[in-house]
Amino acid sequence: EIVMTQSPATLSVSPGERVTLSCRASQSVSGNLAWYQQKPGQAPSLLIYGASTRATGIPARFSGSGSGTEFTLTISSLQSEDFAVYYCQQYNNWPRTFGQGTKVEIK
Amino acid sequence: QVQLQESGPRLVKPSQTLSLTCTVSGDSIRSGTEYWSWIRQPAGQGLEWIGRVYTTGTTNYNPSLKSRVTISVDTSKNHFSLKLSSVTAADTAVYYCAKCVGGWYFDHWGQGTLVTVSS
């Protein structure tokens, strides 16, 4: 099983700041990585797939990069609605696995 | 707009079988272009992929749960189902159903349903 490790666990940020979240895979997943956003009491929602392709309706301030074992999700200017938990997920191998999440909270 | 809705008992006794159904609207399971998955999330924890089913009934399961899991599809009712046997308190979680694009990532999710295992 591929283990996905996200860092940091929690990030305290002020609105308007640039945010960078990391996701590392225990072995290469090529570009087969997705990012999700989860707000309290809600289901996760897809942000990015293919490591860098934004899902339908996702604002341009969200961008993804990386390949192999190292991936990054960047939010260029954090908005109030972006405070949430972010998960990465690999779909290169079975079983599909998720990272443990990074919580982006208000500083 | 695709919508998914989980339904089923919210409380299950230890050693019994957890059963949930996911009803899909706005898309046809029979279309055969997507996979349909179950994912769970214990309180305050991360996400665990349980398994998936294709329109033909072909399934894939997480090895950690494979011995206890059955996922099935009913194309006539446009829904798919999860059965998890011999449950313990460790199976208490929010259970989500989701549409899996190409068997890869999840682009539509149900709202989730909390299932508690307790006597």
Mean pLDDT check: name the lowest of A3-17, A19-33, B25-39: B25-39
- CB contact, 8 Å: B35 with chain A? no
Which residue of chain A is at minimal alpha-carbon distance from B65?
A: A95
The answer, yes or no, to whether residue B2 has pLDDT greater than 80, is yes
Residue range A94-104: average pLDDT? Answer: 97
Give the pLDDT band (50/70/90) at residue B30: confident
For B54-109, write each residue's pLDDT tens digit: 999 999 999 999 999 999 999 999 999 999 999 999 999 999 999 999 889 999 99
Among A residues 25-64, those touching chain B with beta carbons less than 8 Å apart: 32, 34, 36, 42-46, 49, 55
Answer for the pair A58, A18: CB distance below 8 angstroms, yes or no: no
B46/A46 CB distance under 8 A: no
CB within 8 Å: A44 and B111: no
- What is the mean pLDDT of the segment spanning B108-115? 98
pLDDT of B33 above 80: no
Q: Does residue A87 register a pLDDT over 80?
A: yes
pLDDT value of position A67: 97
**Distance (Å, whole) CA A49 – CA A61:** 15
Q: Does B65 touch chain A (CB under 8 A)?
A: no
For chain A, say whether B105 makes contact (Cβ under 8 Å). yes
CB-CB under 8 Å, B105 with A91: yes
pLDDT of residue A17: 96
Whether A73 contacts A60, CB under 8 Å:
no
Mean pLDDT of A64-70: 98
Helix/strand/coil percentages in chain A, nearest 5: 5, 50, 45
Say which of A44, A45, A95 has its CB closest to residue B63.
A95
Q: Reply yes or no on whether the pLDDT at B111 is more than 90.
A: yes
B112 in contact with A at a CB cutoff of 8 Å? yes
Number of neighbours of residue B10 by Cβ within 10 angstroms: 10
